[in-house]
């Protein structure tokens, strides 16, 4: 496992969501899938999002139970292993329905002060 602190992982997640939202802004699934470079960048950022989520310790993830941690990790697996079979409409629905609240929760998690020593604090 990487030695990066969980706060760095949460920052990676926040950055990935912001990049996804920026690339997708104002576009529907058809428009997005026709812009191959942007669509692939969005999918790559979903991989980053899920991989970073996988590296956040369970006790830290437990501080943000409103985040669908298994769902975030699962999206990474779908993008990584299904790739050409990923449904653009599902990607856009996830961006619109799930990412705004996830971003807010991650920002709250990032703002929690460290509570002591240890690898996950």
All structural domains of the chain with their residue ranges: 6-111
| Res 88: pLDDT | 94
| Res 119: pLDDT | 47
The Cα 72–Cα 26 span in angstroms is 23
| Res 2: pLDDT | 56
The Cα 35–Cα 110 span in angstroms is 33
**Averages of pLDDT over each 10 residues, the chain, 121 residues:** 85 98 96 95 97 97 97 94 89 96 98 66 48
| Confidence (pTM) | 0.90
The Cα 93–Cα 108 span in angstroms is 23
DSSP assignment, residue 120? T
Q: Exposed e or buried b for every residue in 52-75, given b needs 16+ CB within 10 A?
A: bbebbeeebbebbeebebeebbeb
| Res 114: pLDDT | 78
């Amino acid at each position: 496992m990487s030695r990066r602190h969980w706060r760095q992982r949460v920052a990676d997640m926040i950055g990935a969501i912001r990049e996804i939202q920026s690339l997708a802004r104002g576009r529907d699934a058809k428009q997005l899938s026709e812009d191959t470079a942007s669509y692939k960048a969005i999918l790559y950022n979903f991989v980053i999002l899920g991989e970073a989520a996988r590296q956040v310790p369970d006790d830290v993830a437990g501080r943000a139970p409103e985040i669908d941690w298994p769902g975030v990790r699962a999206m990474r697996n779908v993008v990584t292993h299904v790739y050409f079979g990923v449904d653009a409409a599902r990607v856009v629905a996830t961006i619109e329905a799930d990412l705004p609240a996830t971003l807010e929760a991650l920002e709250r998690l990032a703002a929690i002060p460290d509570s002591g020593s240890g690898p996950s604090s």
